[in-house]
Every structure is written in C-alpha cells, then in structure tokens.
Structure 1
Amino acid sequence: MYGFGSKKILLEDFASSALTDFGVIVINGYLPSVNIKQVVITIAEVLWDHLKTKRKCSTGSKPKHPFSSQSTEDLFLFLDGQLPNEKDCFVCTVIHNIDGPALRDSESQQYLARIACCSHVRMIASIDHVNAPLLWDKKMVHTQFNWCWYHVPTYAPYKVEGVFFPLILASGGNAQTTKTALVVLQSLTPNAQSVFKILAEYQLANEKEEGMPVNTLYTKCRERFLVSSQVTLNSHLTEFKDHELVKMRRHPDGQDCLYIPLASEALEKLLQELV
C-alpha cells in the first residue's frame, strides 16, 4: 500500500475484517527499533498456535524445542516446510512502514523478504518514503516479496507514526542518517561508490577545509580510471546531490568544493559498512 497519508487504520481495518480466519501479527516499522529475530520467532509461534487450534497438527501438542532457542534457519524451515494437510494454513504479517527507520538496513529487508516467500506466510505492508523501492533488488521485488501494488492515498495524519520522529532524531540521528546513506549508496554502481569513497577519505583527512575541490576530485578519479570525462563525474555528482549525500559550497578562493554532510564518526562508520 502506498500513497500520501497514514495507512495504519486502513491496514488494521483490513486485518480485523478480512483476516479473521488466520493467525495475524503486526509489525510497527515506525518504531525506533524492531527485533527481526523476535519477529521470526513470533510468526512461528502464531503458526503453531493456529495449527493447534485447528487440531490438524500431527506432531504433538508442542514443538520439540522452544522456538526462542531454535536457529533462524530452523525457524524458516518450519515456516516454509511441508505440513500434513495444511497447504492453506498460514500467518498473515501486517507491516506498518516496511520502509521505517528501524527496517531500512539491508539485513532487516533480507529477513523480511525471506519471511514473505515462506509458504505459510502472507504479507501486507505500507510504504511512505518516495525512495522505498531502493531498498529492494529485482529478486526481492519479483521473487520473494512479489508485491501487488495498491495506490491508497488516505490523506490521514501520521498521528501515531509521528510520535516517534523526535525520539529517532534525538537519540540516533547520526546512526539513522548513516543507515539511510548506506542504503542509497548500495543502490548505485561500483564506480559511483568508489567516487564517493574518494571524497569521503579526503574529507576525513582534511577536516578543517571547506571541502574537496571539484577539479581535485576529477583528477583523482581519472587516476583510478573511475571516470573518463568531466561529464561522467558530473552524472555521479548529480546523483549524490539528488539524494543529499553530497553538497557544494564556495571556498574563499572562489573554488567550488564538495562535502558530505555527515559528522566524522558517522562518515567513518559509513565507509566501514560500504563494502
């Protein structure tokens, strides 16, 4: 579900009216933190309870081992396994803001994609950020999530979701900005990432300067065979600027200088995670 406005009430109304015959769990992606492993455990527990309720599970009254002590791979085997006469038994997972701050990292999205393609799981989710599709590659979109897209502009205020925005900004601004920048960079070409790294390394080594002169960046990129012309470099810079990864300001001597609007610690962490 996408479109302007909160979709929280819409999704919950759908769950309470159309999904009453199934086990349902709700993930609030707008919360500052979400434990993905606990999500998988909860889905497994709900599926098991649903099986017991139907009295069609032939494996006993409880699993051999508590789900909380099982490995993630074992949990996925259970969620995607063959259950006797239970082809239509599944858990519906409702995710508010699957593009929320706590879920934007690659690992969380990979887990959610694996959950979505399990045979005993069905997923419905909402997105609100215009760049949310950048979180997924082709395999995730077409094979794992396999989304059906619905445009549902509710124009409803983000009353519940908005409560947590100040908390996120106050407690984890740098961490969250780094996470968002990493998601965007990983969607770009290897050459673009290498250009960004050159700029980042220069900024860390010359913290007192206004930024890196465009000509200097071009020279270094040519030396490393990352760009063949100024036009190629400009296309990378335009992409960086569009995503607010890089900004420009004028040096006292009149040169245009590029800089990354991140604190040094955040920039160092970003370079470490950008493989």
Structure 2
Amino acid sequence: MTAARTGLLAGKQVRRLGLGTMRLTGPGIWGPPASEADAVQLLRKAVELGVQHIDTADAYGPNVAEELIRKALFPYADDLIIATKGGFTRQGPGKWTPCGVPAYLRQCVEMSLRQLNVEAIDLYYLHRVDPNVPLADQVGELEKMRQEGKIKCLGLSKVDILQLTQAITIAPIVAVQNQFSILDYQSEDVIRWCEQNEIAFIPYAPLSAGRYFSSGEVRNQSASAAHALKWLLNYSTVMFPIPGTSRVEHLEENLRSDIEG
C-alpha cells in the first residue's frame, strides 16, 4: 500500500517528505558552506520540486542555514512551512551545549525572526531540553511568545513521553522531532504516543546519518535512500521525514521516494 503523500503539520496540509538544512553549513555544522550559490540553488530546487516543509535551526552555522533560507526563498510561498529551533549555544565545530534559560530562548526566537525576516515563525522547536532548567520554564517561555504572536506552532526535540506529557499541560505541542530510522527504533513509543495524540513526528537523521549506506545491506546508494524514506513514510501517517543533502542530484533522488512505487 502506498503511503499518503501529504499530512497535517502546523495547521497546514503539506507534502510529508520535507528537507533538512543542517548539511548546508560548513564542516561540524559550523560556518558557511563551500558554495553559498550551490546552497541557494538547492533550496530553490527543493521548493520547485514540491517541498513544502523546510527544517532548520539557529544553531546550524550558527545562523547560517536560516540566512540561506531567507536569501533563497524570501518572500515565502503561502503553502511553505519553515520550522526552526532554539536552545543550544555553540562553541565551535561539533560543539553543542543546551541552554534553556527563558531569557536566552526569547533571544533565540527574536534572532530567528530577524534571520528569516518573518513576523511569526511557522513552527518553533525547543531544540534540546536543558537538564539544568525546569522544563515548565522552558516550554512556558515559548508558549508566552506563541501567545504574543511571535510563534505560530510549538514543537519539542529529543524528548521522551514523560517530558511530552508534562509539556502538553503547559502549551499545545504540534510536533516532535526525535531520532528515528530504519536502523534506529529508539523513539518507537514516542511515535505511538504522537499517533494517539494527533501530533506530527519528524525523524531527524532519517537515513541514520549515513550508517544505512555502510550497513552491509546497501548495494545502490540512491535506491537505498529511497527505500529508507519509503519505509519511514509507510511506518506511520504522522511521520514527516526531513532528509538533508547538499547535492541537487541527491535531493532529486530523495524526493522520488513518495512518487515511485
């Protein structure tokens, strides 16, 4: 059976297969890409090919991916969802430290509004729960900004069911972004919870951060990527994969995953 190509995300019916932008930055998710022109071309090509959900974060670069999205796609199409995240500090390539201090989260949102040049962010995630700050304070501050009109919809990233059940008593959560793939089932219980609560699940590293291609099961990389993405789309109707790439040919291959039988 072929999975539905579209689903409800952040209040819009969109194509379930989206695009992640982490790989549009420099090595270690730090600094600009080797070619800004190529990154801009890829983003425009993605929208041309029907992508309606682009996932990013202020920590990608930092600030590089959001700026590339603005340069490539502003003014944005009405049917395009741009999801971003905040709650990390960056100290260098490959270095990430969660920071959920409410004042810092507010600063993150304000910066993303400017970087993306929007009045309200379509979908905003707490990028990582800071273990040193009460979850209620972190989600509560984001909910304040949602009520202020700076954020349209809220999501959480890398969370468990206990954290989710607490968060939904504080704010309406419409999306969860956890690691999940054909090689990584660790969030299976969270997906079932999302299904029961009609919440979108966005699997980060949907191609297992490249591990799938070296797993011994793969003979053709483009075919295997399509297989892994089709598997995700068929796994659950609340699944919205966001495969990332810096190459247009890989983008085109990935986006055939929900078309070809």
TM-score of the two chains, using structure 2 as the length reference: 0.30
Higher helix share: 1
Please tell me whether Structure 1 or Structure 2 has the larger radius of gyration of its CA atoms: 1
TM-score of the two chains, using structure 1 as the length reference: 0.29
Higher strand share: 2
